[in-house]
Chains A and B, each alone.
Chain A
Amino acid sequence: MKNMQKILVIDDEEAIRRSFELALEDSDFSITTVSSGEEGAKEVENGYNLVFLDLKMPGMNGVQTLKKIRESFPDLPVYIVTAFHKEFLTELDEARQLGLKFQLLRKPIGSVEIQALAQCVLDKPVNFN
C-alpha cells in the first residue's frame, strides 16, 4: 500500500511490542518494532510518522534515544511510554529545557487507546508543546 502511515515502537519488553502490533493489526498503519534504543535510533532514519518510545531500557534509555532522534527529526511526534518515570524526572526536564518535544504516556495503555492515539496524531498533527 502506498503512503501508509508508519509507526515505530521502541521497547525492550516483548509484551509491549506485541501489544502495539496487535492493537494496530488491522489498521491503516504499518508498524515496526525494535527492542532497544540503539536499534530505534537507527531504524527511525527510514522515515516514520509516529514513535512510541520506552523510557527504561538497557543500553540507551528513552531520553538518550529521544535526543538521538531529535538530531534528525525535530518535529516527529514521539510518545514516551513508561510504567514509572520518576527516576527519569531530571533527565526528562533537561530534555524539555533543551527544547526536545515529547509527550508522556503512562502504562498500561489498552488497544483502544493505542488506536485512538495513532489515529488522532497521524490524522491531525498534535502540537507537542
Chain B
Amino acid sequence: MIELSSLHIKRYDSVIEARNKVYTLVLDLEARSSVATRLSSLVSEILRSILKQQKTTNVKLAFTKSAGNYYCCILISCAEETYSKFKDNLFFKDVILNFQKHDEPVLEIKLKIMNKQFIPNDDFLTSERERLIQQSGTEMLQEIKRKNKELSKAINDLKSSSNMIQTEKMRALGGLTAGVAHELNNPMMGILNFIQYAIKHTDEDDRKYNPLLDAEREIRRCQSIIDNLLTFSRLKAEGEENFSEDKLSSLCERILQLYSYKIRSANINVIKNFPTQEPTVHLKTNKFQQVILNFVTNAIDAMRESKKRDLTFSVVDCENKIELHVADSGPGIDEETMDKIFDPFFTTKETGQGTGLGLAVSQSIIEEHNGTLKCQSTLGQGTCFTVGLPLLNDSCKK
C-alpha cells in the first residue's frame, strides 16, 4: 500500500472532481453515444491526474446489466506497472470493482446505474454534498430562509383564519344562546315552582316525595347549564363582577381547599410550585376560580384510571406575563380529540357527566382577561393546561 502524501490527497481531489463530472453526465444521460465519448475523455483525465507519467491508451466504455442493475464500465488498457498502482491505490477501492487480466492488463471501473441514475457510494455522496454546499451554500441558505419565511407566513395566515372562524362561531352561538336562555328560563322557572309547590304539599314518607326532590335538583342543573352558556357567550349581565387584584396561587389554594374532599377521595397527590414572590394580576376572581375549577375537575376525571395521580400547579413569573400551569398525570389527549377540546358541547365524558362547556367557558373567561389558554398533552404521560395572563393589563381594569 502506498503512503498517503499531500500529492495523493491532491490527486484524490482531482479524481473526485472527475467523478463528479461523470456523475453529472450520467444523470444527463440522454444520448449514450455522446456520453460515451465524453466519459472516455473524462477517464483519461482521471488517469492523467493520477498517473502523470503514464500516457493512457485505449479507453472503452460499456453499459451492462446484471442482477437487475445497470452498470457503466470503463475499461482501460494499461501497463503492468499502472495496474499494480491502481490495485494498491487506496482511493480507487470503492470504484474499481473488477480487475481483469488479459495479455495487457485491463482496468475496469464499474459504476452502478439504475434507471439512468448513477448510484454513487457514500464517499461520493459526501463529497457531492460538500461540493453542493460549498458551491451554492449561500444560495441554498437564502432559498431555505425564503421558504421558511413563506412557511411561517402561511402558518400565521392559517392561524388567524382559524381564529376568525372560531370568533364567528362563538358570535353565532352567542346569539343563539341568548334566545335559548330567555326562552328556557321562563318555562324553567314555572317547572321549578310547580315542583316546589308539589314538594311542599307532599309528605316526606310519601313515595312521590323523593322523585320530586330529584326533579327539583335536575331543573337546578338545567339552570346551571344555561348559566354556563351565558357566561360562555359573555351575554350574562355585564359588570356583575369587577376586576380585582389577586395572586394566582391564592386562587389555586382556595379551589384546593374547596375541593379538598373530592381531591382526597380520588387519591390525588397535589404538587404545588408557587414562587415565593408572586406579582398580583387583575382578574374577575369568581370567574377565574371557575377556570381553575374546570381544570381540576377535568384532571380528576382524566386520572380516574391512572396509577400515578399527580396534580401539579405551577405559577411562573415570565417578565411581562404570569403563567399558571395545571398538569395531570392522566392518559393524555390524542391529536384528533385535541382539535376539539375547546369546542362548545364537545365532551369525552359519559352522558350526563359533562356538558362539554367547561373548556369553552374557560377560554372565553381567559380571553376576557386578555389572556391565553394552551393545552399540551403527551399520550401516556398527561396533559398540561397553561394560562398566560398579562401583568400590566390596564385594558382589563374597568
Contacts and interface: CB of A to CB of B under 8 A. Distances in A.
Interface stretch (A41-49, A70-78, A104-112): A104-112
A110 B193 contact: yes
Size bracket, chain B contacts: 20 to 34
Contact of B181 (A18, A22, A83, A89): A83
Size bracket, chain A contacts: 20 to 34
A19 B235 contact: no
Interface in A92-114: 104, 106-112, 114
B194 interface: yes
Interface in B222-254: 223, 230, 235, 237-238
Interface in B192-210: 192-194, 196-197, 200
A25 B196 CA distance: 12
Interface in A15-62: 15-16, 18-20, 22-23, 25, 56
A108 B185 contact: yes
B390 to A, nearest CB: 27
A56 to B, nearest CB: 7
A102 B325 CA distance: 44
A83 B237 CA distance: 10
Contact of B189 (A86, A89, A108): A108
Contact of A84 (B188, B196, B223, B235): B235
A67 interface: no
B185 A84 contact: yes
Given A15-B187, A16-B190, A108-B185, A23 B178 contact: no
B182 interface: yes
Given A86-B178, A106-B237, A108-B223, A19 B193 contact: yes
Contact of B196 (A56, A104, A112): A112
B186 interface: yes
Main DSSP-derived SS at the B contact region: helix
A13 B187 CA distance: 8
B190 A15 contact: yes
Contacts of B200: 111
Contacts of B238: 86, 89
Contacts of B191: 15
A112 B178 CA distance: 27
Nearest to A11: B186
Nearest to A22: B197
A14 B187 CA distance: 9
Given A111-B196, A111-B200, A112-B196, A19 B181 contact: no
A106 B181 CA distance: 11
B237 A111 contact: no
Nearest to A23: B193
Contacts of A89: 238
Nearest to B181: A84
A11 B211 CA distance: 30
Contacts of B237: 85-86, 104, 106
A22 B201 CA distance: 11
B189 A107 contact: yes
Contact of A23 (B186, B188, B197, B235): B197
B182 A19 contact: no
Nearest to B183: A83
Contacts of B181: 83-84
B196 A15 contact: no
Nearest to A54: B186
B186 A13 contact: yes
A86 B234 CA distance: 10
- The residue among B200, B223, B238 with the most chain A CB atoms within 10 A of its own CB is B200
11 contacts: A13-B190, A15-B194, A16-B189, A16-B190, A83-B181, A84-B178, A84-B181, A107-B189, A108-B185, A109-B189, A111-B197
Interface of A: 13-16, 18-20, 22-23, 25, 56, 83-87, 89, 104, 106-112, 114
